[in-house]
Structure 1
Amino acid sequence: MINVFQPSLGDEELAAIGEVLSSNWLGHGKRTAAFEAEFAEHIGVEPEHVLFINSATAGLFLTTELLGLGPGDDVVLPSVSFVSAANAIAATGARPVFCDVDERTLNPTAADIEAALTPDTRAVFLLHYGGYPGQVQEIAQLCRDRGLLLVEDAACAVASSADGQACGTFGDVAMWSFDAMKVLVTGDGGMLYVRDPELARTARRLAYHGLERASGFSSAARVSHRWWELDVREFGRRVIGNDLTAAIGSVQLRRLPSFVAQRAEAARHYDSLLAEVPGLLRPPALPEGHTTSYYFYWVQVEPAQRDALAKDLLDNGVYTTFRYPPLHRVPVYGWSGPDLPATDRAADRTLLLPIHQTISRTDVEHVTSVLTDSLTSVAA
């Protein structure tokens, strides 16, 4: 089976894990701090603004708490988002307000965001679909002009940028995902970025039980006496990362440029093979100055063809999927706002093809051959 997502793990990651095991310390420690510093350099910020956590979802929930969202607040987000974003908002008592997206990029435009604003809007949660930056600069400016908080869900955008600035650093808070299906993987894990220094310190406390000062093995040398006493400042939880997963992350971060290059080559090969297929749309070209992580490669066909195409591909050893089913269609969120026509059209036409750093040219050629044959037979 040719999978949609697949990590690349090898001897370097095994060696890093071995070093952690040999150290006899698996928890939050010096390797976690090193990974945070390395990632901070990768996105062009100071290390005190980033925090290695156990998932991007934990980062979303921590963010809503950090920003004080709650009943009476509206939060705008694209309907094409993962459920974790809407869940984090709704769990506070705030109201998720879904906006439309561009039908081709599946990213919201600044106009889409603006159309969804209400008098009670306090924040915008922006997903970078498939790693595409979208109109992040325009949306960031809109939020500044309106006095709104901007949270970037950069789960898919670990190597994405707009005019040289890393996605995730345009707003107030951001999170990246390192789960087992992402470009950079740690098994489970994520990174949180907080622009405001004081909020960043609060986030670090909230991520570890609300403690102002860690105790025990990692900090005993820095505490004069009674290092076991607790200084609790907030009602936090435990969502910090650890040295074992951080060690994997450091290796993966060093390998990230090659991962992205391999994904880019696969995307170019898809583009060339699918360029002349009638009735099929490929991902739109990136605007000048934008880079992507190539997390998704998506095609769009007529709605009547999409599901049959997915089945034909599966029958021929190719797993495909659609990310992300529109949240305004999910009953639990109780959406009663305006129709989102571009979102609905995109959701019924879009299919993600396999793309990852281990996919071969032969695999890409097999996928496109089956896809072309399937569309031809349906059209006939």
Structure 2
Amino acid sequence: MMINVFQPSLGAEELSAVSEVFESNWLGHGPRTKEFEAQFAAHLDVAPENTIFISSATAGLFLTTELLGLGPDDDVVLPAVSFVAAGNAVAATGARPVFCDVDTHTLNPTAAHVERALTPRTKAVLLLHYGGHPGDIAAIANLCRTRDVRLIEDAACAVASGVDGKKAGTFGDVAMWSFDSMKVLVTGDGGMLYVRDAELARRARRLAYHGLEQSSGFAAAKVSHRWWELNVQDFGRRIIGNDLTAAIGSVQLRRLPEFVERRRAVAEQYDRLLADADGIRLPPALPAGHTGTYYFYWVQLDAAVRDQVAADLLEKGIYTTFRYPPLHKVPAYRGGGAVLPNTDTASSTTLLLPLHQGLDDAEVRTVADELRKAVEHRGAGTRA
């Protein structure tokens, strides 16, 4: 059996919640969707009307570019180590993705990295919290405020992360979280959008459902006594969540603390088992005041052996990977001229080990033992 990098935890509670939705005979956008939005807002300590359950974090990225009016005259700064959905959302508007470098160890950009990439045309910064580490988010948020630049937080990996009690995703203007089947909190597909500005949040909710008002139900969209006549305020699409997946999300949100605690324990076990391993650099510790989601556990190896080690582990039934292939290398984004040495180094040396709440201690020991053997076999040499 393969030891997976990512794996959800689903059980009787989620099944019972789905059964209740079936019994209600309403699977679409409804009361359970609203309940989940309110619960997630409480998790973030923000107003529930500013959170919107949507079909995916990717849909949230595309909607955000529309909310902020990005277009061909604009630049958007984002780390080159980011998911392709971020690059696609920016490039699809005609705006220019401007890729910044990252710290080689954290794989997050610092405020200095972001500042060096700003241009006179910069309208927004789109930041990823790599592996659930909040990174330099407070300083970057302050930089964006002083430069009058919008901050978008791609918090897909950071559902439980924060700095000094403030949740990742609430530092900027807009944020989105992913609940796909590889995340910590899963609904199969789905995501949450947070919009700080109340009026912009109302527009986001309209755009997420055909340009129609949702706040008071379908009836709010009517324009006369003929309730089927519609008042379309914006040209929207349909990217709303539904009660079936929201019911799963509510259960998963209740279980989130136990998930994160187990993931933290797995990460700490890796730290102990690999502490003296030659040729293996462990991930950075979280700074004081930072809390993480423990979405990734990454090690860094000599670039000459990284791929071979990954192949050796796969032969032993241990799946590893690298997230995310650097976007400045993607031809479609026309970022090939960017000189990002830290990104290049990190992307050639970093390997993600299995990390999820379903791992037992024996599996963690197996991964650590086989990693040591593979690195030694490939002759990685001295301590990384």
The normalised TM-score by structure 2 is 0.96
**Shift of residue 336 of structure 1?**
4.3
* Contact 2:154-2:175 within 8 A present in 1 as well: yes
Correspondence for 2:26: 25
**Shift of residue 377 of structure 1?**
1.3
* Contact 2:152-2:174 within 8 A present in 1 as well: yes
**Shift of residue 291 of structure 1?**
0.5
Correspondence for 2:366: 366
Q: How far does the alpha carbon of each residue in 1:187-244 deviate from its partner, in whole angstroms, 9 at most, with x for none?
A: 00000000000000000000001113579xx545997943222110111000000000
Unaligned runs of 5+ residues in structure 2 are none
Q: How far does the alpha carbon of each residue in 1:49-100 deviate from its partner, in whole angstroms, 9 at most, with x for none?
A: 1000000000000000000000110000000000000100000000000000
Correspondence for 2:287: 287
1:305 maps to amino acid:
V
1:247 maps to amino acid:
A
| 2:173 is aligned with 1:172 | yes
Q: Secondary structure at the match of 1:237?
A: coil
| 2:76 is aligned with 1:75 | yes
| 2:110 is aligned with 1:93 | no
| Superposed counterparts of 1:229-308, under 5 Å | 229-308=229-308
Q: CA separation in 2, counterparts of 1:319 and 1:132?
A: 22
1:198 maps to amino acid:
E
Unaligned runs of 5+ residues in structure 1 are none
| Superposed counterparts of 1:41-120, under 5 Å | 41-120=42-121
* Contact 1:213-1:230 within 8 A present in 2 as well: no
* Contact 1:213-1:231 within 8 A present in 2 as well: no
Q: How far does the alpha carbon of each residue in 1:115-151 deviate from its partner, in whole angstroms, 9 at most, with x for none?
A: 0011100000000000000000000000000000000
Q: CA separation in 1, counterparts of 2:359 and 2:152?
A: 32
Q: Which runs of 4+ in 1 moved over 2 A?
A: 212-215, 218-227
1:117 maps to amino acid:
L
Q: CA separation in 2, counterparts of 1:87 and 1:164?
A: 32
Correspondence for 2:334: 334
* Contact 1:36-1:47 within 8 A present in 2 as well: yes
| Superposed counterparts of 1:116-265, under 5 Å | 116-213=117-214, 219-220=218-219, 225-265=225-265
1:137 maps to amino acid:
A
1:171 maps to amino acid:
G
**Shift of residue 24 of structure 1?**
0.4
**Shift of residue 378 of structure 1?**
1.3
2:207 maps to amino acid:
L
Q: How far does the alpha carbon of each residue in 1:169-203 deviate from its partner, in whole angstroms, 9 at most, with x for none?
A: 00000000000000000000000000000000000
Bigger mean CA offset, 4-13 vs 334-343: 334-343
**Shift of residue 334 of structure 1?**
1.1
Q: CA separation in 2, counterparts of 1:227 and 1:258?
A: 46
Q: Secondary structure at the match of 1:39?
A: helix
Q: CA separation in 2, counterparts of 1:21 and 1:376?
A: 54
Q: CA separation in 1, counterparts of 2:290 and 2:215?
A: 40
Q: How many residues align?
A: 378
Q: CA separation in 1, counterparts of 2:148 and 2:67?
A: 17
Correspondence for 2:40: 39
Judged with a 3 Å threshold, the aligned counterparts in structure 2 of structure 1 residues 355 and 71 are, in CA distance, closer, same or farther, namely same
Bigger mean CA offset, 205-214 vs 263-272: 205-214
The normalised TM-score by structure 1 is 0.97
**Shift of residue 335 of structure 1?**
1.2
Judged with a 3 Å threshold, the aligned counterparts in structure 2 of structure 1 residues 222 and 144 are, in CA distance, closer, same or farther, namely closer
Judged with a 3 Å threshold, the aligned counterparts in structure 2 of structure 1 residues 126 and 17 are, in CA distance, closer, same or farther, namely same
**Shift of residue 338 of structure 1?**
3.3
Q: How far does the alpha carbon of each residue in 1:266-301 deviate from its partner, in whole angstroms, 9 at most, with x for none?
A: 000000000000121111010000000000000000
Judged with a 3 Å threshold, the aligned counterparts in structure 2 of structure 1 residues 12 and 308 are, in CA distance, closer, same or farther, namely same
Correspondence for 2:345: 345
Correspondence for 1:321: 321
Q: How far does the alpha carbon of each residue in 1:231-269 deviate from its partner, in whole angstroms, 9 at most, with x for none?
A: 101110000000000000000000000000000000000
